[in-house]
């Protein structure tokens, strides 16, 4: 199989896997235990924290290790909102956030908070005019993802910060940006941000959230002792060590190669499929690793399944939204119809993607949407109405 779904997850790097195994075998103690074995594991944890902090140019005290991007978003958003609730209960977000952000906000809505969801412009960026209009005297938080995970558009965080009152907490989901976009100055723009290991060739089940130490924040649940009381559960020291090792190895390594792969892919699409496709791009700022596109009259799930049958792994949106109505929500936020949303597919590149992989993929797409008899031209109406359940994929 040729894997082209790196925005969903990445394979663990072999050197990183060795580090995980070594730490798991030799530093297996509970980091909260006061004996020697626990102390050794604690040292691994704190050395990892310092290394990640140095990479991100932030103080180690602000880094909290988590089980991944989802928990990072939920902990930051809910904890910060609750800590600021005495000032107000209004939160601003976009219509195209990751499902974990919407999950946290839904929890807060059930606790009496009010959430305003701002649309995107046709360029795939949050509508700044609508965002500015949404700000109220009781607005306490804004949460806007740094890089859209479906089309790769980069959000103008500095411009958003300029619109916000100084007392409004600003959180960003930086999971898709981590390792690809320079985050060294991000702490100067936002109050908190989330990152994840498995998007950058590290192990799954590990992530981190940075929260400015000046922000008053406490854990959602009382009496928790791990990670300065922000979360509970025995700390995953082997996973954290491997996560940081992957970050140190891959941060900033793939941008130029991703640009070349993107250019090749778009050129091949134009040459082989001409006007049969529409690439959903941002003319303002774009992550080259992710390409979102549609083929009119072809459901994205059909194309994804046909590609899988022919040996190519692609997606129809974020992996966390595949089995729900949230897949393709970016297009709706940009003003496209829900019918067009269903036509959406996502291609994403990584360290093992070759130029030959790209050329082969375009040929497969040409077979699928270019009148290939394997699918059947007489079934055009069936293609348009196809509703394939993808449970278990």
CA distance 170 to 141: 6
Catalytic, out of 215, 313, 320, 386: 320
* CA 83 vs CA 73, 92, 225, 277: distances in Å: 15, 16, 18, 47
Active site residue 307: no
Can you spell out the DSSP letters for 141-152? EEE--SB-TTT-
| Tally of helices (H runs) and strands (E runs) in the chain | 13, 12
Contact 163, 145 (CB under 8 A): no
CA distance 321 to 100: 10
List the one residue out of 174, 43, 26 whose CA is nearest residue 97. Answer: 174
Contact 71, 235 (CB under 8 A): no
CA distance 312 to 298: 17
Contact 206, 177 (CB under 8 A): no
Q: Around 187, how many Cα atoms within 13 Å sit in the side-chain half-sphere? A: 19
* CA 313 vs CA 290, 346, 382: distances in Å: 14, 10, 23
CA distance 19 to 26: 11
Q: Which two tokens stand for residue 195?
A: 């990152």
Question: Largest alpha-carbon pair distance within the chain?
Answer: 72
Q: What are phi and psi of 359, to 5 degrees?
A: -60, -45
CA distance 152 to 145: 11
List the catalytic residues: 320
């Amino acid at each position: 199989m040729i894997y082209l779904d790196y925005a969903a997850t990445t394979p663990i790097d072999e050197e990183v896997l060795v580090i995980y195994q070594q730490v798991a075998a030799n530093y297996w103690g509970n980091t909260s235990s006061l004996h020697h074995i626990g102390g050794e594991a604690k040292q691994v944890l704190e050395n990892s924290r310092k290394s990640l902090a140095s990479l991100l140019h932030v103080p180690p005290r602000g880094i909290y290790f988590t089980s991944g991007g989802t928990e990072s978003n939920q902990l930051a958003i809910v904890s910060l909102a609750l800590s600021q609730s005495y000032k107000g209960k209004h939160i601003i977000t976009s219509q195209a956030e990751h499902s974990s952000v919407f999950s946290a906000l839904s929890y807060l809505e059930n606790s009496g908070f009010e959430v305003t969801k701002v649309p995107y412009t046709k360029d795939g960026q949050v509508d700044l005019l609508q965002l500015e209009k949404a700000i109220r005297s009781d607005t306490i938080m804004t949460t806007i993802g740094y890089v859209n995970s479906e089309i790769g558009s980069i959000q103008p965080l500095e411009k958003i910060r300029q619109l916000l009152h100084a007392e409004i907490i600003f959180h960003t989901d930086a999971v898709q940006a981590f390792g690809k976009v320079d985050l060294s100055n991000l702490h100067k723009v936002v109050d908190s941000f989330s990152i994840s290991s498995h998007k950058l060739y590290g192990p799954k089940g590990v992530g981190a959230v940075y929260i400015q130490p000046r922000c008053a924040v406490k854990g959602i649940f009382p009496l928790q002792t791990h990670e300065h009381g922000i979360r509970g559960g025995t700390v995953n020291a082997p996973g954290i060590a491997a996560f940081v090792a992957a970050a140190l190895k891959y941060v900033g390594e793939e941008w130029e190669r991703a640009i070349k792969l993107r250019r090749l892919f778009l050129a091949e699409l134009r040459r082989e499929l001409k006007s049969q496709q529409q690439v959903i791009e941002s003319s303002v700022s774009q992550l080259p690793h992710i390409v979102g596109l549609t083929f009119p009259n072809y459901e994205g799930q059909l194309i994804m399944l046909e590609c899988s049958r022919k040996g190519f792994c692609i997606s129809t949106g974020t992996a966390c939204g595949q089995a729900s109505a949230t897949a393709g929500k970016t297009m709706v936020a940009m003003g496209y119809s829900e019918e067009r949303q269903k036509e959406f597919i996502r291609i994403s590149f990584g360290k093992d993607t070759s130029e030959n992989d790209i050329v082969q993929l375009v040929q497969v797409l040409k077979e699928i949407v270019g009148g290939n008899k394997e699918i059947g031209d007489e079934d055009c109406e069936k293609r348009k109405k196809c509703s394939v359940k993808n449970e278990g994929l």
